[in-house]
Structures are given as C-alpha cells and as structure tokens.
Structure 1
Amino acid sequence: MNHQSTPSSIWIRIFPFLLWLRQSNAQSIRADVMAGVTGAVIVLPQGVAYAMIAGMPPEYGLYAAIVPAIIAALFGSSWHLISGPTAALSIVVFTTISPMATPGSSEFVQLALTLTLLAGLFQLVLGLVRMGTLVNFISHSVVIGFTSGAAILIATSQLKNVFGIDIPSGESFAHTWVELFHEIDQTNYYNLLVAVVTIMVALAIKKWLNKIPNMLIAMIVGSVLAFFLGAEEHGIALVGSIPAELPPFSSPSFSFSILRDLMPGALAIGLLGLVEAVSIARSVAIYSNQRIDGNQEFIGQGLSNIAGAFFSGYASSGSFTRTGVNYSAGAKSPLAAIVAAVALALIILMLAPLTAYVPIASMAGILLIVSYNLIDVHHIKSIALASRSEFAVLMVTFIATLFLHLEFAIYVGVMLSLVIYLNRTSKPNIVTLAPDPNSIRHRLTNVLRKPLTECPQLKIIRIDGSLFFGAVDYVQKHLQEIPEAHVLIVCSGINFIDVAGAEMLAHEAKRRRALGGGLYFSNMKIRARNIFERGGYLADINPEMIFDVKTDAIKTIIARLETARCHSCSARIFEECQQF
C-alpha cells in the first residue's frame, strides 16, 4: 500500500491542484463560479487604481490579476487566497523604478516586468529550499508599520489628482506635501467635486448596501458626473481606454546592469509579497480550518510572478480584500480564483473601451479609501498598549517607510524583527525550583509562584529555551551569580544546545568542581545530549553528573553535600534530609 501511495503524494507535491480537483463536485463548482464572478467585479476598479500607483498603464493592473492569479491558485496551498496587484507592492514598484525611467513609458514597463521576474525567482528559490518559515521572523508590528506607512504614501501620491494640481511624479513624501501646500490655490474644483462624490458614494454603499461592489458603483457615478460636468472643458483628466485584449506576451530585460540595479528592490518585493500572501492565507485558514503550507505558498507566489513577467503582469501577491470577499462569497477551492481571472479577461474584452470615460480624480478617490482601509487602527492601539518595544518597532518601520526608499524600509523592518527575535531567544527564562512540602512527592515548584524554602547548598534551576551562541553570555552570567556550590539544571525546557552552549556548560562544570561543588543535569533530551557526546564535552562534564530524572539527581547530590552543614540546617526540604 505504501508503494502505491508514494507516487500519488509525489505528484500532489508537484501539482497541488490535483488534490482539490479530486474533491470538487457539482455543488462546490457552483459555489466557486459564483464567488469567482464576484471577485472579478471587485478587482476591476482595484486593478486600474493599483496600476496608477505603480506608475504602470492601467491595463497592467488588470493583467496582473489574470495569469499570476491562475498560477498562484494552481500551485499555492491556500484554498481561498486570491493573488493579484496590491497597494503596498505597487508603491514599492513605483519607488524602485521611477528614478530609472519615466512612469508609464515602455522602458518603465519593461523594468517593472524584470523586477517582477527577479522577485518571483527569489520567492521560488526560497520555497524550493523549504524556507517557508522565514516569514515567521518578520513580526506583525513590522507588517502593520510598513502597511500603514505605505497607505500614507499612497494617499499622499493621489492628492494631486484629487485637487487637480500639477506635482511631478516621484517626489519624496515631504516634498510632495510642500508642493501641495504651495499649489493649493491652483485647485481644480471640478476635479475635487468628482473625487469627493466618488468617496461619498463608495462609503454610503458600503454602509447601507454592502452586498454590491461599492467601489465599482462609485467609479461609475464619478464617471457620469465628470461627463455631465464636461470633463474636457474643465480640465478633468481621464484614465483613457484600455486595449480590449488578453494579456499579451512580454519580455523582461536580461541586461546584467539592469538586473544588478533592480536586485535590492526585487528582494524587498519578493519578501514583502511572501509576507502578505502567507499572512492573508493563514488569517483566512483560521476560519476555514485549513492547514497552510508556507513552502508551497512560496512556490506558488514565485511561479505566479515568473509567469506574470512574461504575460504583462507586474509584481503580485495575496490580496486581503479580494481574499476576504472570496471566502465570504462561499468559495470552496482555488477554482474560484481561476474563475475570477477568466471572468476578468472576458470583462476586459467586452468593457475595456469604457475606461476612457473614467476620471483620474474618481480613481484617486477610490485609492484614498483603499489607503484608509490599509491602516489597521485596532491593532496599532493593541500593540501600543501591550508592548512598548513592539510599538517602537512599529513606529520606526512606519517612519522609515515615509522617509526612506521603500525597499530599505522593508529591510529595516526585517532587521528589527530579527533583533526582537534574537533579543528574546538570547534571554531564556531561568526558573528557580524548590520542593513543595504540601504537594504529592514534594513536587518541584517555581519559587516565584509560591514562596518556598531553598537548600543553602543546592540550587535547582530550569532553563526554558535553547542554549545557542546568542544565549550563552546571559545563561553563563546567571550561573556564575549563583552562590551555592552545587547546581542542578533541569533540562526539560531545553530543546537545542549548540557548540557554544556545550562549551559554556563544560567550562562551568570545571569551575564548580574546582570550587568543591558540581554542575548536574536531569531530564536532558536526547538531541541535546548528543551534542555533548559528539563534541567530546562529556570529559569535562562527566557522564555521572547527567541523570534521567530529578529524584535520582537529588539523591546523588545530597550525598555529596557538606554533612556538617546538613546536620545544623533547619531547612530540611528534601526527603533525604531526614537522615540528618
């Protein structure tokens, strides 16, 4: 039976869509089709708006939601995640490429495709080498701080379109606000009216008619208003018509100098895209009771961006809005994402010319709403109340996002995440234990939870955490501050000991022997003990000092204590003390 199941499992690992295809039935397919059509309608205004943020022609925002979305659905692990262009990735694409080419130009588009290819390759490699846990090292505070900063940048970049003011693209956050302040008297009030009406209609529909696509309806209302106001006569800029064609084949640049210049931005986009996708997939999986394979998501996102680079799609990742709508609409499998992509392609073929009537001010209003929704006020308040250090990380990432190049802001966030992780793991919890006379068999209990008498000659501690090079100094300092000559370390909480940790313990064992005491171990896990054996550290530690259970260790240690002190001791906390 095992020989029969092995080939099947291998094929499923290579082609994960085989699993959900087998489980599909008429009822699930019907639900996926309905959810997919809903998703296609949702992405129509979003795709165009995100392309504007990225500095790409509007049709590329829709192309990025077709082929990449299909590939991510086929090769990812989440049954509800919808991939496509996102606000955060779009603004990183813009800030990375805008210093190198004019936004909207053919050169800019080719650089964006090359950037997407590099990001996809980076993601695919991480997935193939099983680095799916990498996203766990980027704290939630960093993601919220970066997303909030990106939201402010997006809103800032669209204010010129809301007010109809001419501000050059690619200006810094601060400079854009300075220019806006100086040019505010040049406001085009027709433009402003279209943007405000679009925003009000979108918010009203979301509040009172939340079953219908509020952004799409608001965009249509804004377009109709611009038409009756006389867009051309009053300087209301329009998006322009989108080609009524499927995503055309495209070719990224393979110039070494371009690849070199784009690599830092590609790494940042790849990492941010993975964090977005896996975080969204896991948040939905909580409700769907599905287990997410991080490595498979890495592979799916990598393949989707690689494919997108050759089919006119710029950097894509999991979309929080569309994924939430997909799940709420009753999607049962990734087939819904494929249906959404196909439906979007049909919509482009039929309705693309209508975008010629969409005012840019209306799209800017939609983006202001998107920006507002990106700022997670609830979690920001929770982090501020729960942890000062986490809130500090959030604020540093937020400020870096506003005032540094976005790819460097992401690196700052990643480095801060690693610093937090190392700071926590480098200080394992060290608990002092003592027998509780009121418990069965005098169970060893944490003295901080219950005030208990301790032995004046023997200190019993439990280390909860791994003993690796980063934690060595902290643990060694704690051990050297223990005045008792004999120390028993309960190792049940130690999952891993590296060479530096083993050397430190061996050195401490020798030091205590020289002082007439000893360092003892109990409940040591096999993985940790193997380090002592393979590294030859047992010569210093002495195998006789390592015990399987605490009771055996305590019996042996008490026999080695100073008898005179035991006779005059009033503590008598161990059963073995009765002999004195």
Structure 2
Amino acid sequence: MRIESYAEEWQGSAKDNIFAGILIALSALPGAIAYSFIVGMNPSIGLLSMGIMMVVLSFTAGRTLMITGPSSGIALVAAPLVTSHGPMYLIAASMVMGVLQMLFGIFKVGRLIDRIPVAVVIGFMNALALLLMSSQFPSIFGISTATYIFAVLSFLIIWLVPRWIRFIPAPLVSIVVLTLVAHTLHPNLKYVHDLADIHVVIPKLQWEVLPLFTHSHALGTILGYGLTMAIVGTLQSLLTAKALDVLTNVKSNENQESAAQGLANFASGLFGGFGGSALVGQSKFNVKIGATARFSTLVTAFFLLLTIYVLGPVISLIPMVVLATVLVSIAFNTFDRRTWTAIKAAPVRNTATILITMVVTLATNNLAFGVLSGTAIYLVFYFFGKESGKDDRYQSS
C-alpha cells in the first residue's frame, strides 16, 4: 500500500467519524457481552478483546471500516474448549489462531475464498444461525413468567424501533429500556451479575500460557482449536469484507486483511483476551451511518476499552433474557436469504450441499468440518453429477 493512499484513509469529517465510532461501540456492546457468556469468559474480557482487536485493525486492516470482535462463529467453536480445559487454553488457541491467519495472508490464502461454492457458504451461514439461536434457549425458557414477558417485549422493541429510529441500534434501545424497567420493578429475572462479576481488567502479557506449548497433549488441543478458529474466523471476515466491497465500491485487500485479522487476534490473546472475527451487521451499519476514515474504528476501540472502567456496574444490571433476544435476532438475520434461489438453480446439487454442510456442522458443533464436508459433496456432484444448472463454484457472498 502506498503511503499517500494510506494517509488518505485517515482523512474525513472528524464529527461524522467520531459519532459513527461511538455508535458502533454502543451497538457492539450487547454482542461482545453475550458472546463472552457463550464462550464462558467474563464480559469484561470480551470487551477487552474487542477493544484490542479494533486498535490493531484501525492501523493494519486491508478492508477499512470493517468491525471485528467476539463473534458467533468463534464463540461456538471456543465454548467447548473453555468448558473442557479452561480459559488459558482459549487464550493460547487465540494466539495460534492469530499466527495461522497471518500465515494465510502471507501465503495468499485469501484468494481461495472465491472458490468456495455458494451452496457451502449458505449452509455455513444457516448452521451458524441455528447454533447461535439454540445456544440462547436456556436464557429464555424455563426460568420464570417474567422472563417470557421480557423476551416478548424485547423482540417487539427490536422489531418496531427501526421503523421510527434508524440512527440508534434497536438492540441497544431494548437493553436500555428493559434494564431500566427491570431495575425499577425488580421482577424474577436472571441478570448479568448473577453469572459474572463485571470488573476492571488491566491488559497484561500472558506469560503463564507458554508452558502449555511444551506439553504434547495440550499443544495438540491448542493447535486443533486454533486451526478451526482460524478457518472459521477467516471465512467470516473475508465474506464480510466482500459484502462491504459492494456497499463502498472499494475492493478489499483480502490477504492484507487476513494478516491484519491474525495480528489482531494474536494481540488479543497475548494480552489476555480471546479471538474474534468480522461482524457483518456492525460493519454494514458503520458504512451506512457515515464512517469514512480509519480513525472511526479507533474511536470505537477506545470507547469499548473505556466502557470496562466506567460502565461495569451498569452492565451488571442487564437482564440475561434481553441479551438472549438480541442474539436470537442476530441469528435470524444470519440465515442466508439466497437459500431458495440456490436450491432452484440446482435442486439436487445445491440442496445436498446445503444440507450436508448444515448437518455436519450441527452434529459436530464444528463449522470448519461443515465447510469441508459441504465442499467435498459439492465437488462430487459437480464432477460426477448429470444435473444441469448454473455453475456457481466461484461465486461468494
């Protein structure tokens, strides 16, 4: 990248970009907190992770204006690791994930994203939506009548608010309004403070994870999860980058983006956080509300880090059911709207590919296995099948 073009990426209206950066930070708060609970980490760590990643990516990203943080794909992959081995394994795996993504960028693996069949991407997104949705059911069902009432109210707010208010994210409105209601009425609900103590986290180098790399069993586990997280994170991030390419008419540097995502994830793990990937909803919102310069994402990073020190007591009062409804709404938006179009284009091949990708992903709880299985089935149908239909091997979202 030339110095002149890089300098231009930092230029833009200070007011517009600062406003966009703060709004994006506010819109990302619910997800960062909720994904932390899915992983099994304290929400403070989730906010720290996103803050560190966004600082790094503000300077290094190959796709400007893209928002990265704790995400559904990485959270669902990482959760079993924390459950079975503990947080230190996740920190180590996040560092491995980062190194692998940097290697993906160096060896130009990013170009392979164009060769993933559309049907596999659709199956991946639909399976991701189902996994994310099902992970939130324990926070909604079987708790209390008040929980059901708050769930319905939250869904209504998320659905209705965008009709009248567009510059404030509906999930944030739901969280603020229903947290105030809950704090006033004290209904029988589970709150963030019931599951975790929101506390100040000081970033520090995680030297204590280094001994894990000296034990063969621990190293095998860390490398396996790190590789899976790297594949899933790269897939999500580069697909999101392509979506922003369409919105901005600016081509992403895919290999630089992969390396930058890796550096961000490595830095997050190095200072006690965990890995993440691009967030398609927040990334699109960032463009639509007028962000134009790299420093908008730097504002987002600093605001998130400030939140850890200032808003901890407020975050602890959020009802868990409200966070759950936010993630369920995200899951609904994750379902790929091209599903029926793809099935009509090649009923046998694409249907089989979508279903195999989803079934393997749901059965193994591993998004990378699902993508590999779906791609294998697609290639079998493509090379040996007799069905005619539009060749979509090289189309991606």
Secondary structure of the 1:66 match is helix
Which one of the candidate residues 175, 178, 185 is aligned to 1:222? 178
Cα offset, 1:22, TM superposition: 4.4
Aligned to 2:259: 299
How is 1:362-373 mapped onto 2 (pairs within 5 angstroms)?
362-373=322-333
Aligned to 2:190: 237
Query: Which residue type is aligned with residue 239 of structure 1?
Result: V
Structure with the largest fraction of helix: 2
Secondary structure of the 2:191 match is coil
Which one of the candidate residues 25, 30, 46 is aligned to 1:40? 25
Secondary structure of the 1:290 match is coil
Q: Deviations over 1:432-468 (max 9, x none)?
A: xxxxxxxxxxxxxxxxxxxxxxxxxxxxxxxxxxxxx
Cα offset, 1:31, TM superposition: 3.0
Cα offset, 1:316, TM superposition: 0.9
Which one of the candidate residues 91, 94, 118 is aligned to 2:76? 91
Which one of the candidate residues 297, 301, 314 is aligned to 1:354? 314
Aligned to 2:378: 420
2:48–2:201 Cα contact (<8 Å) kept: no
Query: Which residue type is aligned with residue 196 of structure 1?
Result: V
Query: Which residue type is aligned with residue 345 of structure 2?
Result: A
**RCO higher in structure (CA 8 A, sep ≥6):** 2
TM-score after normalising by structure 2: 0.87
How is 1:363-402 mapped onto 2 (pairs within 5 angstroms)?
363-376=323-336, 378-388=337-347, 389-402=349-362
Query: Which residue type is aligned with residue 190 of structure 2?
Result: A
Q: For the residues of structure 1 that align with 2:15 and 2:128, how far apart are their CA atoms?
A: 37
Aligned to 2:61: 76
1:117–1:305 Cα contact (<8 Å) kept: yes
Is 1:191 aligned to 2:147, yes or no? yes
Q: Which 5+ residue runs of structure 2 have no aligned equivalent?
A: 386-397
Q: For the residues of structure 2 that align with 1:209 and 1:282, how far apart are their CA atoms?
A: 28
Q: Deviations over 1:450-496 (max 9, x none)?
A: xxxxxxxxxxxxxxxxxxxxxxxxxxxxxxxxxxxxxxxxxxxxxxx
Aligned to 1:62: 47
Is 1:268 aligned to 2:228, yes or no? yes
Cα offset, 1:312, TM superposition: 2.8
1:95–1:405 Cα contact (<8 Å) kept: no
1:114–1:252 Cα contact (<8 Å) kept: no
Q: For the residues of structure 2 that align with 1:411 and 1:196, how far apart are their CA atoms?
A: 35
2:357–2:373 Cα contact (<8 Å) kept: no
Cα offset, 1:248, TM superposition: 4.6
Query: Which residue type is aligned with residue 227 of structure 1?
Result: H
1:58–1:242 Cα contact (<8 Å) kept: yes
Query: Which residue type is aligned with residue 341 of structure 2?
Result: S
Query: Which residue type is aligned with residue 130 of structure 1?
Result: K
Structure with larger Rg: 1
Q: For the residues of structure 2 that align with 1:56 and 1:339, how far apart are their CA atoms?
A: 25
Cα offset, 1:355, TM superposition: 1.4
2:93–2:226 Cα contact (<8 Å) kept: yes
Q: For the residues of structure 2 that align with 1:61 and 1:363, how far apart are their CA atoms?
A: 14
Cα offset, 1:221, TM superposition: 2.2
Q: For the residues of structure 2 that align with 1:64 and 1:263, how far apart are their CA atoms?
A: 20
Is 1:21 aligned to 2:1, yes or no? no
Distance 1:415 1:399, change over 3 A: closer
Q: For the residues of structure 1 that align with 2:63 and 2:101, how far apart are their CA atoms?
A: 16
Is 1:148 aligned to 2:126, yes or no? yes
Q: For the residues of structure 2 that align with 1:30 and 1:422, how far apart are their CA atoms?
A: 54
Q: For the residues of structure 2 that align with 1:208 and 1:159, how far apart are their CA atoms?
A: 29
Q: For the residues of structure 2 that align with 1:390 and 1:330, how far apart are their CA atoms?
A: 37
Q: Deviations over 1:263-308 (max 9, x none)?
A: 2222121011111111111211123121212211111011011001
1:145–1:395 Cα contact (<8 Å) kept: yes
Cα offset, 1:418, TM superposition: 5.1
Q: For the residues of structure 1 that align with 2:282 and 2:18, how far apart are their CA atoms?
A: 15
Distance 1:419 1:334, change over 3 A: farther
Distance 1:397 1:97, change over 3 A: farther
How is 1:540-579 mapped onto 2 (pairs within 5 angstroms)?
none
Distance 1:252 1:130, change over 3 A: farther
Cα offset, 1:141, TM superposition: 2.2
Distance 1:425 1:393, change over 3 A: closer
Cα offset, 1:363, TM superposition: 1.2
Q: For the residues of structure 2 that align with 1:73 and 1:390, how far apart are their CA atoms?
A: 38
Secondary structure of the 1:353 match is helix
Q: Deviations over 1:162-185 (max 9, x none)?
A: 12x4xxxxxxxxxxxxxxxxxxxx
Q: Deviations over 1:355-375 (max 9, x none)?
A: 121111221121211111111
Which one of the candidate residues 287, 290, 298 is aligned to 2:247? 287
Aligned to 1:316: 276
1:198–1:221 Cα contact (<8 Å) kept: no
Q: Which 5+ residue runs of structure 1 have no aligned equivalent?
A: 1-8, 102-107, 166-186, 428-580
Query: Which residue type is aligned with residue 199 of structure 2?
Result: P
Q: For the residues of structure 2 that align with 1:190 and 1:138, how far apart are their CA atoms?
A: 45
Q: For the residues of structure 1 that align with 2:324 and 2:365, how far apart are their CA atoms?
A: 23
Q: For the residues of structure 1 that align with 2:157 and 2:206, how far apart are their CA atoms?
A: 38
Cα offset, 1:52, TM superposition: 1.5
Q: For the residues of structure 2 that align with 1:392 and 1:301, how far apart are their CA atoms?
A: 32
Q: For the residues of structure 2 that align with 1:421 and 1:127, how far apart are their CA atoms?
A: 25
Q: For the residues of structure 1 that align with 2:118 and 2:93, how far apart are their CA atoms?
A: 26
Query: Which residue type is aligned with residue 295 of structure 2?
Result: L
Structure with the largest fraction of strand: 1
Cα offset, 1:124, TM superposition: 0.9
